[in-house]
Structure 1
Amino acid sequence: MSNGRTADVAGWRAGMMLPVARLRQLAAILGPGLVVMLADTDAGSVITAAQSGAQWGYRLLLLQLLIIPLLFVVQELTVRLALCTGKGYGELVRARFGRTLAWCSMLTLGVSCFGALATEMSGLAGVGQLYGVPVWLSMLLVGGLIFFMVCTGSYRSVERVAILFGVFELAFLLVAWHARPDYHQMAAQLRHMPLANHDYLYLLAANLGTSIMPWTVFYQQSALLDKGLTLGDLRAARLDTLLGAVLCQVITAAVLVAAAAAFGSHGGGMRLDDIPQIAQAFTSVLGEHVGRMLFAMALGGGALVATIVVCLSVAWALGEVTGRHHSLELHPREAPWFYSAFGLMLLAGGVLVASGINLVRLSIATGVVNAVLLPVTLGFLFWLARHELPPQHRLRGGRAVVIGVIFMFAAGVGLYAGLAGALG
């Protein structure tokens, strides 16, 4: 009897250990998708969403939720390409299309990343200004700390720090909850979307372009490989990406709701000019000191994560296109191109921010540029998924048709709204 009980206890313990082991394995795999999506909720996204709420109330809220499936499909294809081929996005483009088009994709990435980096560092400078820190000092501290962290750590350590900072973005959910939005007004405005208005189209393009960006594709594909994940991790990596996509857009929607409740109570029409003005959405709901602190933590956390991701995207892509070393596991002496590219991006972004450029206009314009570049970004991704994946994971049949239609529609909307808004 005692042997039977011992066997039962052993079996019970083994049964308990199995899900625990699976959870540990899942926790070890999670990261790249969450990091890239937390970075996607960057200073540019926050500023664009806040401007959308202040100027148009809740009329762009539905768009934030419709972007979730598009965002997941885009990033899931990058996951599949990484784990099935063992190559980065830049390597695949070079192998399939040649060096000329590879450098064209690199140019697209560079334009997107430089605008994003300037936006992130401007956001961090704006957070510093809330507490009286000069812009030049903020840039010096932020640039130095990020470069030191990357040069002295592995990918996993950088990932942990990025997630830690990114968690502060959850403060936006708290503000949206306490803003007490008018749901009747929300429902009425959601039924009225002024698609003929050029200003509305411009912000629609900016919201789309701050969600689907070239550097998120480059980053996640390279990050999965730098972390050492394989095809056996595909299911967990997809879950990681899904969680990140939902979290990203829910946070962005929360910013829009908070801004609409704070500035758009009469239907919108207000234009925001700087970060302290955006911070008023927090101080009006949570009080001056608490609201300002949470806003600084949320915006600063997202901007820090995005700064790391943007710089790494360029460095990884440059290495992939040129065939040079591009891994955080390598010492700076072993991969000078990688770390030099990272440092130059930080330096250039800091100099641009110190020049006094208008943050809000830059952030929204960067999103519009990304939206106009969507045909290139989505076109390359779709072609690679159709031709570079092994047969069992290749994009084909009805799934390929559906995703192709979705990509064409998104690219068309981004191109039309961006150009119509800019030229109108």
Structure 2
Amino acid sequence: MTQIQEVAAPRAWKFASADEGARPSLPEVNATVHVPHAGTWIRRLIAFLGPGYMISVGYMDPGNWATDLAGGAQFGYTLLTVIMLSNLMAILLQALAARLGIVTGRDLAQACRDHYSRPVNLALWFACELAIIACDLAEVIGTAIALQLLFGIPLIGGALITALDAFLLLLLMNKGFRFLEAFVIALLIVIAVCFAIQIAAAAPPVAAVLKGFIPSPEIVTNHEMLYIAMGIIGATVMPHNLYLHSSIVQTRAYKRTDEGRRDAIKWATADSTIALMLALFVNASILIVAAVAFHDSGHSDVAEIGQAFKLLSPLLGLGIASTLFAVALLASGLNSTVTATLAGQIVMEGFLRLRIPHWARRLLTRGLAIIPVVFVTAFYGEKGTADLLVLSQVILSMQLPFAVIPLVQFVTDREKMGRFTVSRGVASLSWLVAGVILALNFKLLYDTLFG
């Protein structure tokens, strides 16, 4: 283990200090998952399967549900193109994050700390913490709504119950990282099966669905559609997932040599790409079901998860549809809890070198998310929490540049990445994605302030 960690970073990388350079990301699980260095390709792929599914959780969390439901109910299939494009951006960015972690032995937070000045690092840390709180906000609301729909627990009570999940990650981590990955994948299978059944019941028109994947200029010119589109991007391309992925790919005990890193990059990229295609299916399914059930039936004002739950079964003609919807929502909330907790730990340790007990870190973040949910629910009811859910995803989208720009800067820097620097074509595409995200953010800000 010690020998593996000592050569984890290429010589070109400039560490902030000798002490920090020696500390791996998530040291308790770093290089703990065995990887076969020979054998069939399927054995080697299976060894790397896991991190991609853990980061895919963030691409189908309760925040996605709010934006996808609103998009499908209001605008039919039009915003399917936004889901597809944002998923393609996510595939590219997550591949870059995995490359950074594997080549340098640093997660994105550690890399930022090594490269930028202290004021810049503090600003980046604050932006990332804000993104994690916004993500946590969506998880609290989604889980609370699922508990209300399935068991009749009031929203405020459900929000308070979510504080108990602070100890879920501790239990899973104590059983080993592979057990944690298995738990996440099992819940993802539940979500996928629930939506596969609903899509079969909805029987959407194929031509209209395919047309929805063709970009429309109306998405940019229509402010309401742009707001939902930005929410979809914010809910799909998650800033904290870039930090998370750059860390957890290092749980694999691949050879810390050029050949070993090259092999690890190949399998880690395949892992995240396959997992994110599952996320594309789930997100597209939510929007398609909403379009069929609500937009096509004249219920375009449906924007809340609670409303969708009540109307799904009668409108789709499938008695179990609403229950499947709520079960998938609960599985999504539980899954997102695990990955957001890990991301919070990585960000705090990477930027601040601050290590606090996991349960304390989780309770702090979850507490900051529960307070606004309880306040808004008490004063504005369910409608307020629905608006808060969409707003949280727009906030996430606004934080994206603070994670994307440093990531692209690092993987295109030959001094830091050496022979693993991305090609000019990939570098150009990566900067284009960063530019599109920035442009959409500025457009949304301008329209919100002056439109």
TM-score normalized with structure 1 length: 0.85
| Cross-structure match for 2:248 | 223
Equivalent residues in 2 for 1:139-158 (5 A)? 139-151=159-171, 152-158=174-180
Q: In 1, Cα distance between the equivalents of 2:298 and 2:153?
A: 35
| Cross-structure match for 1:135 | 155
Q: 2:232 aligns with which of 194, 204, 207?
A: 207
Whether the 8 Å CA contact 2:109–2:243 is kept in 1: the answer is: yes
Q: 1:108 aligns with which of 112, 127, 146?
A: 127
| Cross-structure match for 2:189 | 167
Segment of structure 1 superposing worse, 387-396 or 50-59: 387-396
Whether the 8 Å CA contact 2:166–2:359 is kept in 1: the answer is: no
Residue 288 of structure 1: how far off its partner (Å): 6.6
Residue 96 of structure 1: how far off its partner (Å): 0.6
Q: In 2, Cα distance between the equivalents of 1:207 and 1:418?
A: 16
Larger radius of gyration: 1
3-state SS in 2 of match to 1:355: helix
Q: 2:46 aligns with which of 16, 22, 27?
A: 27
Q: In 2, Cα distance between the equivalents of 1:421 and 1:182?
A: 35
Whether the 8 Å CA contact 2:199–2:285 is kept in 1: the answer is: yes
Would you say 1:94 and 2:113 are equivalent positions? yes
Residue 193 of structure 1: how far off its partner (Å): 4.9
| Cross-structure match for 2:24 | none
Equivalent residues in 2 for 1:231-250 (5 A)? 231=261, 232-250=263-281
Post-superposition Cα deviations, 1:221-260, rounded to whole Å, max 9, x if no partner, equal 1222245556242211110111122111221011100000
Whether the 8 Å CA contact 1:167–1:301 is kept in 2: the answer is: no
Q: In 1, Cα distance between the equivalents of 2:333 and 2:232?
A: 17
Q: 1:54 aligns with which of 41, 66, 73?
A: 73
The answer for unaligned runs of 5 or more in structure 2 is 1-35, 378-383
Whether the 8 Å CA contact 1:205–1:418 is kept in 2: the answer is: no
Whether the 8 Å CA contact 1:115–1:362 is kept in 2: the answer is: no
Residue 352 of structure 1: how far off its partner (Å): 3.3
State the one-letter code of the partner of 1:405.
Answer: L
| Cross-structure match for 2:17 | none
RMSD across aligned positions (CA)? 2.7
Whether the 8 Å CA contact 2:49–2:271 is kept in 1: the answer is: yes
Q: In 2, Cα distance between the equivalents of 1:422 and 1:257?
A: 32
Segment of structure 1 superposing worse, 148-157 or 378-387: 148-157
Q: In 2, Cα distance between the equivalents of 1:113 and 1:174?
A: 32
Post-superposition Cα deviations, 1:170-224, rounded to whole Å, max 9, x if no partner, equal 1223312321223455567667552322111111111111111211111111222
| Cross-structure match for 1:7 | none
State the one-letter code of the partner of 2:113.
Answer: R
Q: In 2, Cα distance between the equivalents of 1:340 and 1:110?
A: 15
Whether the 8 Å CA contact 2:45–2:271 is kept in 1: the answer is: no
Whether the 8 Å CA contact 1:44–1:367 is kept in 2: the answer is: yes
Whether the 8 Å CA contact 1:34–1:163 is kept in 2: the answer is: yes
Post-superposition Cα deviations, 1:280-308, rounded to whole Å, max 9, x if no partner, equal 46423665751222112211111211122
Whether the 8 Å CA contact 1:79–1:221 is kept in 2: the answer is: yes
The answer for unaligned runs of 5 or more in structure 1 is 1-16, 326-335
Would you say 1:348 and 2:378 are equivalent positions? no
Q: In 1, Cα distance between the equivalents of 2:200 and 2:346?
A: 39
Q: In 2, Cα distance between the equivalents of 1:188 and 1:310?
A: 35
Change (3 A) 1:202 1:156: same
State the one-letter code of the partner of 2:296.
Answer: S
Change (3 A) 1:287 1:421: farther
Q: In 2, Cα distance between the equivalents of 1:323 and 1:191?
A: 44
Residue 423 of structure 1: how far off its partner (Å): 5.2
TM-score normalized with structure 2 length: 0.80
3-state SS in 1 of match to 2:296: coil
Post-superposition Cα deviations, 1:5-24, rounded to whole Å, max 9, x if no partner, equal xxxxxxxxxxxx99975433
Q: In 1, Cα distance between the equivalents of 2:112 and 2:311?
A: 43
Whether the 8 Å CA contact 2:134–2:396 is kept in 1: the answer is: no
Instruction: Give the aligned length.
Output: 397
3-state SS in 1 of match to 2:170: helix
Would you say 1:413 and 2:443 are equivalent positions? no
Change (3 A) 1:356 1:402: closer
Whether the 8 Å CA contact 1:30–1:237 is kept in 2: the answer is: yes
State the one-letter code of the partner of 2:102.
Answer: L
Q: In 1, Cα distance between the equivalents of 2:284 and 2:84?
A: 8
Q: In 1, Cα distance between the equivalents of 2:135 and 2:185?
A: 19
Q: In 1, Cα distance between the equivalents of 2:360 and 2:158?
A: 21
Q: 1:293 aligns with which of 318, 323, 336?
A: 323
Change (3 A) 1:43 1:80: same
Segment of structure 1 superposing worse, 275-284 or 289-298: 275-284
Change (3 A) 1:321 1:265: same
Whether the 8 Å CA contact 1:222–1:316 is kept in 2: the answer is: yes
Query: Percent of counterpart pairs with the same letter?
Result: 21
